[in-house]
Amino acid sequence: SMLEKIALERERLAQIREMADEIIDTSDYTVAELRKKLTERYFRRRKHRLQVLVVSFGYKFGLPLESDLVLDTRFLPNPFYLENLKELTGRSQKVRGFVLESTETKEYLKKIFQMLEFLMPRFISEGKSNLTISIGCTGGKHRSVVVATEIYRWLKSRKFNVRIFHRDIYK
């Protein structure tokens, strides 16, 4: 029966219980509440323990499977159709300038930053330790690279532990 199993478990854990400095009754905690309690009690407080990875990608190569948030940039002006920009990447100042000068891009970035301003504190208070933000365009070479870089810089300026990876930039 269940009561017998509980009694057996208590018996097996008795030695460990004797060695414990502290015992926490977790019966009434949700997973999130327990995580919060343990974090507050046993881990040093850091401003952001959240590890953020910003990934640019090309939809034609598939979505990054580890994505928590996916943002689409395929509606932004495409440098691919301009001969002088086609062979460059979103790391080039010329491509960056072309993408960032667009009113659509400026508005989109503003809204992304507002969304992140809302989400990041909530992810932190929930105890999330890793967050992958994926930004896609058709090939993963131009628009997604520019927007991913802007998101990376925005997060970095707010002291987040953030890395960036351009998955498809040279495909």
**Same structural domain, 56 and 36:** no
Count of C-beta atoms within a 10 Å radius of residue 21 = 4
pLDDT digits (tens, 9 = 90+) for 26-70: 888 888 888 877 777 766 555 557 999 999 999 999 999 999 999
Burial state string for 64-75 with b = 16 or more CB within 10 A and e = fewer than 16? beebebebebee
**Average pLDDT score over the chain:** 90
Nearest to 171 by CA among 61, 67, 53: 61
**Same structural domain, 133 and 162:** yes
Strand-pairing partners, residue 53, are 132, 163
Q: Give the pLDDT of residue 7.
A: 85
**Same structural domain, 29 and 66:** no
| pLDDT of 113 strictly over 70 | yes
Counting the structural domains of the chain, the total is: 2
Q: Give the pLDDT of residue 46.
A: 52
Nearest to 52 by CA among 171, 151, 166: 151
**pTM exceeding 0.75:** no
